[in-house]
Amino acid sequence: MRIAEIECKSMLVASKLPASDYVVNPYTGCSFACAYCYASFMGRFVGEPIEAWGEYLSVKVNAVAVFQRELRRMPPARRESTILLSSVTDAWQGVEKKYRLARGILEALHAEAYPGQVMMLTKSPLILRDTDLISALPRTEVGVTVTATDDAVGRFLEGHAPFATDRLRTLAALNQAGIPTYAFVGPLLPHYRYRGDLLEDLFRCIRDSGTSSVFVEHLNTSPYIVRRIAPLVRDEPAEVQAVYAAARTDEHRRALSDMVMDLVAKYGLEIRLGRVLDHNRDKKAAPARSSLQGSA
């Protein structure tokens, strides 16, 4: 992992994602290195190819100061806006222990008594370090990405991300601390189409963690993402390759969406936006607000 310290000019960036008005990204790159991450395109801003995603990280060392300045200048009419931390990195990845940028941003929001919604999304138990600040903000919601209950399945596509079981424990700990939470099931891994028992186990574990609300999104099969996933799948047995090939079809997505809708109903979960998100289909209908996937 190559780590560089850089200075940024802005931190509070208007968002095109569903459910957030602004995004805040204290790092460029992500050491968790998920193969399916849509944020791999970010390399173009720091001169890195898509294939190098997960091998570099730029730390915006002035992130907190810049964010504080922008927050103070925010017009009163905008202070009800929803801010997402983060959209193209995981703000609680390992280096956060040293740089404490996510924590600094939460401290700035607290100091300003920011009244709007602050949404977080992470794969990291490190967010539990910040439960004091999160609890002190008036409107927060913490999302944890959970794609599997089996650590080996998660490891296949999620390079160095924390284990799936640790993420479920993180959700439970947040719920025990009284913090509003949601689970982000994204990407919805293609093999669930043929293993309804494993998909059911995933939603049951989310419900058992105390979380009652989920975002769910199909695998983003944009060509630049497929380029990163393909080498992993190529080493797998023929049946796994066939599953990933089928994942791009409408028929697969419809069948998997139906399975998810049945399970969220069975386990009494709320599905955000009322459906399984599908970047590849939604962007044709609404290109500006079509995807959540890749945010941690």
Binding stretches for ligand SF4 (CB under 6 A)? 30, 32-34, 37, 39, 89-90, 123, 161, 294, 296
**Parallel/antiparallel/unpaired status of strands 213-218 and 270-271:** parallel
**Residue closer to ligand SF4, measured from CB, 71 or 91:** 91
- In angstroms, what is the minimal distance from the CB of 274 to ligand SF4? 23
CA 146 to chain centre: 9
Q: 83: Cβ–Cβ under 8 A, 6 or more apart, which residues?
A: 12, 20, 21, 22, 23, 24, 109, 114, 116, 117, 118, 119
- In angstroms, what is the minimal distance from the CB of 118 to ligand SF4? 18
- In angstroms, what is the minimal distance from the CB of 294 to ligand SF4? 5
Q: Give the span between the Cα atoms of 130 and 237, in whole angstroms.
A: 42
**Residue closer to ligand SF4, measured from CB, 32 or 203:** 32
- In angstroms, what is the minimal distance from the CB of 7 to ligand SF4? 22
**Residue closer to ligand SF4, measured from CB, 123 or 193:** 123
* Phi/psi of residue 19, nearest 5 degrees: 70, 20
Evaluate whether 170 touches 163 at the Cβ level (below 8 Å).
Answer: no
- In angstroms, what is the minimal distance from the CB of 184 to ligand SF4? 10
- In angstroms, what is the minimal distance from the CB of 54 to ligand SF4? 6
**Residue closer to ligand SF4, measured from CB, 68 or 294:** 294
**Residue closer to ligand SF4, measured from CB, 71 or 276:** 276
From first CA to last CA, the distance across the chain in angstroms is: 18
Helical segments of the chain, H only:
63-73, 96-99, 101-111, 131-136, 151-157, 164-176, 196-208, 223-234, 238-246, 250-266, 279-285
Nearest Cα residue to 187 out of 224, 229, 227, 223: 229
